[in-house]
Amino acid sequence: MATKKELYKDMTVQELNAALNKLQKEYQEYRFEKVVGDARKTHEIKLARKNIARVKTFLHKHELLEKK
């Protein structure tokens, strides 16, 4: 089974942007659930933030490779 890092490594910039938008929407939903008091999986908030950071890291790497 591929890790998140390996999964994002093979994605194109467009796929990474789509994944980033999806993850940000999920993170927003988790935050809303937490505020409302309906959050059952509070650990998912932390995981969503980490996944967003992973995707942004790979997007930044793509930008640096394009500049060279």
Domain architecture of the chain: domains with CATH: 4-67 (1.10.287)
Q: Which two tokens stand for residue 19?
A: 């994944």
- Beta-carbon contacts of 40 under 8 Å, excluding residues fewer than 6 positions away, are 33
Per-residue model confidence as pLDDT tens digits over 11-68:
899 999 999 999 999 999 999 988 888 878 888 899 999 999 999 999 999 999 888 7
| Global confidence as pTM | 0.85
Q: What is the pLDDT of residue 14?
A: 95
Phi, psi at residue 17, to the nearest 5°? -65, -40
